[in-house]
Structure 1
Amino acid sequence: MTKRIVVTGIGATSPIGGTAQESWDNLLAGASGVRTLEQDWVAKYELPITIAGQAAVPATDVLPRMETKRLDPSSQFALIAAREAWADAGTPGVDPERLGVDWATGIGGVWTLLDAWDTLRERGPRRVLPMTVPMLMPNGPAAAIGMDLGARAGERTVVSACASSTESIANAFEHLQAGLADVIIAGGSEAAIHPLPIASFAAMQALSKRSDNPATASRPYDVSRDGFVLGEGAAALVLETLEHAEARGARIYAEVLGGAVTSDAYHITAPDPEGSAAARAMIAAIENAGLALTDVVHVNAHATSTPVGDIAEYYALRRVFGDHLESIAVSATKASTGHLLGGAGAIEALFTVKALHERVAPPTINLENQDPAIPLDVVTTPRDLGTGDLLAISNSFGFGGHNAVAAFRSF
C-alpha cells in the first residue's frame, strides 16, 4: 500500500539565521549571510578567498560546552537543527524502534581530522584526543541525532557531495514507504569553512573572487557570476506517515511526494553540459508521484553561481519542462546562504516546504544582469504562488555527477 508522507517539523541553523523561521524571514527580506572571514588563519595561510557564509549563530552559543567538546562542528550544527525540528513537530510520541534518522554530509568532520593531524605533528600521538575518530566520522551527525532522540529504526548516512541531503530526504521517503519507520529525521549538515577546503576550492577556480563585496558575491544566473561562496550549517525535516501525523494531531507543513537519484558518469567535478541525467532525476521525482510535469509551479534550483553549473541546470530544466518552464517561478537561494555543500539540499528543501506552506516563492538576490542564455523566470522579490494544489521540486547536483531531486506538494 502506498503511504502518504508529510513534513511535520523543521529546524535549521544557517548563515542567515539561527533557526528555521529566522532563516526563512531573512531569506524573504533579501538578506545575505556572506561575510568577510576574520579568523587569523586567513592571513596565516594567505588564502586567496577571504569570504564565506558562516553560521549566523555559532554552535558554541547554543550547545553546552560538554557537547561541543565531544562533537565536530558538523555534528553540532546537525544536533541544533534536529532538536529544533523535533520540538517544532511537537516531540512526537513514537516507539523508538519506529523512529529513524536519514542524515547527510558532503565532507564530514574535516575540522576534527585536520586539527588532530596538526596535534599529531606538533605535539605527538599521546596528545591526540581519544574521541577523534568518532568525531570525524561522516556518520557522526546521524549518530549524535539518533542518540539524542533515541532513534532505533536506523541511523543512515548519505555522502554524495552537494546532492547528499536531498538524497537523504529521498531515502527517508522510501524508508517510510517501506514501513521501516513511522517517523524519520532527515536532513544534512556541513562545517567546512576551513583553510584547506577553501584553498582547494579556490585552486580549482570554483569560488567567487568578490572578496571586496561579500554580500553580492554569490549571484546565480547573472552574467558576471564567477563561482560559489562556501557556506555552513544544517537543516532538518521531520517526516512521518500521514496516518501517524493525523493520529497525533500534528501540524503539517507539506506533503513529500518522493525523490529521485541519477548520475552523470561524465566528470568528477563538471556537470554534464547537456543535463540529461539531471533531467531524468527531475522527471522521475515528479512522475513517480503520478503527477504531470505541467503541475510544477516552483523550483528551488541548485544554482551555485558558477558559469558552467547554472547553464547546465537550465538545459536540464528546459529538457524537462519545455515551454512550461516559462510558467515556473525559480528561486536560487544560495545567493543568500552561500553553498552549504552536503547541507545545501536540506536547507533548500526546507525553503521549498516553507514556500508551499506560505504560498510564496523566496527571492534570488544579486541578480543585476540576467544571463540571456538562461531565460528563466527568476524570482527576485517574494512572489505569491497562488491558491490550489501547488507542486514544487528542489534540485541538488554534486561533484562526481550525483543528481538528487525531491518533490513536495502543498497540504
Structure 2
Amino acid sequence: MSASTPANNGSRRRVVITGIGVVSPLGIGVEPFLEALKAKRSGVGVVTDVMDASAAPGNVGGEIPDFDDGVTKEAMPKKQRKFIKVMCREIELGVVSAMHAVQHSGLDLDALDRSRMGVDFGANLMFTPPEVLADAVAACAEPLPPDSAEPRRFQFERWGQKGMKMLEPLWLLRYLPNMPACHIGIALDARGPSNSLTMGGASGNSALSEAARIIERGRADVMVAGTTGTHLHPVRTINLGLFGELADGDGPPGTWCKPYDAGRRGQVVGEAACTVILEEREHAEARGATILGELLGFGSACVSQLDATGRLGEAVVVAGRAALRDAGLSPADLGHINGHGVATRDSDAEECRGYAKLLEGAPVPITGLKGFTGNAGSGSGVQELAASLLMLREGLIPVCLNHEFADADLGDLQFVSGDHRPHEGKTVFLNLNGTRGGQASAAIVRAE
C-alpha cells in the first residue's frame, strides 16, 4: 500500500459524515457557525447569562448566545420534553447538537432500522453548581455560638440524615456524564450500541473513533457521535485559575485567546457541543445523502510521568503516528492540522514539539479554533473537526484567530495566520486534542 492510499479504501467498511449539529459561542446550527468562521468573528466576550461572575478575569468566556430551556424544548420530540427538568446545561447542549445533526443529515428516522443506529458521546465530568449544594452543606456544618469568629466545619456524619434530604430527588441525574448519550438514544429511539466517554479534551476524537469502529465491524449502519462540555463553570474556572492558566488581556475579549502566538497569555473558558452523523458509505449513498467527509484513521495515547504529570508532546507524536498508520498516509499527505492550542505558554510549546517530531519536516500548516470559541474541554474536539470540515468545503483552511507571530518555543512550524488560507486541493486534515494529564486523541478526515 502506498503512503497516499487510505487504508479504509480496502476491505473494511468505509465511514462517512453526513450531518453536523453544532451549539457554539459562534452560534447554534451549521449556518451561523460557518458564517462566523468565514467572517473571522470571535464568540468570546463578557459572560452575561451563564454566570454573573466567575474566577475568570473580566468574567470573559466563550458563551453560547441565546441558549435556554426553550431551545432544547424546540429541538426535542414532544414526548421527551419532560426530561429537560433532569438535564444540566451541558446535557442540554449535547442533546440539542444531536437533534440538529440528525436534521442536517436528512435522515428519515421512520425508514431506519433503529437496531442499526447507535450513540457514542463524550463529556466532561459534570460538576454541580455551588448554589445547588449550599443549603445542604450549611445544614451539615457544626453549630457555633453567634459571636464566634471560628470557621464552621463540615460534619460528614450529618450528610445522610440532614444534607441529603435537602437535595432535589433527581439531583444526581442532572450531572451524570453518561446522560447525554442516554437522552439522545431515547429521543431518537436508537437501539444500537451506546456508550459514553469521559476523557476531558481528548473525548471528541475518541468518541468518533469508537463510533466508526462499530460501523466498520458491521454492528451499526448509523452512529450519532459527539461531545458536550464546558469550562464556563464556577468550579472549573476556579480550578483553571489555581493552575494559573487563565488569560487576562488588555484589549477586546475576543483577542485574549492567542493559540500558538508569541504573546499567548493563557486560555479563555468556553462551552460547546457538537455532534456528527456517521454512516457506512454505501448506506449513505443508497439514501442519496450529502457526504461531507470521510473518516480515514484514528489514534490515541496517554503519556505521563510517575508523578502523573502529563507529557502532551510525546502523546501527540504517538497518537498522530497511529492515526497516520491507520489511514495509510504520511505526514506530507496532510493538508493541515487543527490542533489543541489552548494558548498557555507551556502547553502550546509542548504540543508543538510533538508536531515537529510528527511531521518530520513536512510543511503542514497548523491552525487552532480556540481563539474563536475559548476552551470547552470535552466540548471542543468535535466542534474543531467540524470547523475544518466545513471550511474545507468552502475551499479554505480556517485561520488561527489572534495568532500573529510564533516564538522560538514553538519550533520551525507553519501556522495559518492573518486570514484563511486556500486549501490548494489538499482536503485531508488531522484533528488533534489533548489534556493536561498527557492524553491525546487524533482523527484524520478527508473533506468531500
TM-score (norm 1): 0.92
Letter of the 2:380 counterpart: A
1:72-83 equivalence runs, <5 A: 72-83=88-99
Q: 1:268 to 1:347 in 2, by over 3 A?
A: farther
Q: State the partner residue of 2:119.
A: 101
1:12-51 equivalence runs, <5 A: 12-38=22-48, 48=57, 50-51=59-60
Greater C-alpha radius of gyration: 2
Q: State the partner residue of 1:205.
A: 244
Distance 1:46 1:197 in 2: 9
User: Which is further off, 299-308 or 47-56?
Assistant: 47-56
Q: State the partner residue of 1:277.
A: 315
| SS of equivalent to 2:361 | helix
Contact 1:263 1:278 (C-alpha < 8 Å) held by counterparts: no
Q: CA offset at residue 171 of structure 1?
A: 1.1
Distance 1:254 1:46 in 2: 39
Q: State the partner residue of 2:420.
A: 382
State which of 374, 394, 407 in structure 2 corresponds to 1:358.
Answer: 394
Q: State the partner residue of 1:301.
A: 339
1:262-411 equivalence runs, <5 A: 262-266=301-305, 271-272=310-311, 275-324=313-362, 326=363, 328-374=364-410, 375-380=412-417, 381-387=419-425, 390-411=427-448
Distance 2:307 2:43 in 1: 29
Contact 1:271 1:309 (C-alpha < 8 Å) held by counterparts: no
Distance 1:40 1:163 in 2: 24
User: Which is further off, 33-42 or 129-138?
Assistant: 33-42
Contact 2:121 2:197 (C-alpha < 8 Å) held by counterparts: yes
Letter of the 1:76 counterpart: E
TM-score (norm 2): 0.85
Distance 1:91 1:268 in 2: 48
| SS of equivalent to 2:315 | helix
2:168 pairs with 1:158: no
Contact 1:111 1:194 (C-alpha < 8 Å) held by counterparts: no
Q: CA offset at residue 289 of structure 1?
A: 1.4
Distance 2:94 2:269 in 1: 18
The one-character-per-residue Cα deviations of 1:194-230 (angstroms, maximum 9, x if unpaired) are 2111111101111112276311110012222111111
1:56-205 equivalence runs, <5 A: 56-64=65-73, 66-92=82-108, 93-108=111-126, 110-111=127-128, 114-121=130-137, 125-205=164-244
Q: 1:39 to 1:151 in 2, by over 3 A?
A: closer
Distance 2:226 2:408 in 1: 34
Q: State the partner residue of 1:7.
A: 17
Distance 2:50 2:361 in 1: 51
Distance 1:360 1:309 in 2: 27
Distance 1:46 1:182 in 2: 45
Count, aligned residues:
404
Contact 2:265 2:345 (C-alpha < 8 Å) held by counterparts: yes
Give identity over the alignment, percent: 27
Distance 1:75 1:261 in 2: 25
State which of 277, 284, 296 in structure 2 corresponds to 1:238.
Answer: 277
Distance 2:247 2:128 in 1: 23
Distance 1:121 1:366 in 2: 43
Q: 1:362 to 1:403 in 2, by over 3 A?
A: same
Q: 1:46 to 1:342 in 2, by over 3 A?
A: closer
Letter of the 1:303 counterpart: G
Q: CA offset at residue 369 of structure 1?
A: 3.3
Q: 1:267 to 1:195 in 2, by over 3 A?
A: farther
Distance 2:328 2:403 in 1: 35
Distance 1:103 1:84 in 2: 15
Structure 1 stretches of 4+ moved >4 Å: 39-43, 45-49, 267-271
The one-character-per-residue Cα deviations of 1:54-110 (angstroms, maximum 9, x if unpaired) are 1123133412384542211111001111011001111243211111111001223x2
Contact 1:13 1:57 (C-alpha < 8 Å) held by counterparts: no
Distance 1:117 1:48 in 2: 25
Distance 2:230 2:405 in 1: 32
User: Which is further off, 398-407 or 3-12?
Assistant: 398-407
Contact 2:255 2:402 (C-alpha < 8 Å) held by counterparts: yes
Q: CA offset at residue 348 of structure 1?
A: 0.8
Distance 1:153 1:84 in 2: 20
Letter of the 2:346 counterpart: V
User: Which is further off, 301-310 or 364-373?
Assistant: 364-373
State which of 241, 251, 255 in structure 2 corresponds to 1:216.
Answer: 255
User: Which is further off, 197-206 or 50-59?
Assistant: 50-59
5+ residue gaps, structure 1, are none
Distance 2:437 2:413 in 1: 26
Q: CA offset at residue 27 of structure 1?
A: 1.5
Q: 1:187 to 1:41 in 2, by over 3 A?
A: closer
1:241-252 equivalence runs, <5 A: 241-252=280-291
Distance 2:70 2:440 in 1: 35
Contact 1:300 1:330 (C-alpha < 8 Å) held by counterparts: yes
Contact 1:82 1:235 (C-alpha < 8 Å) held by counterparts: yes
Contact 1:102 1:184 (C-alpha < 8 Å) held by counterparts: yes
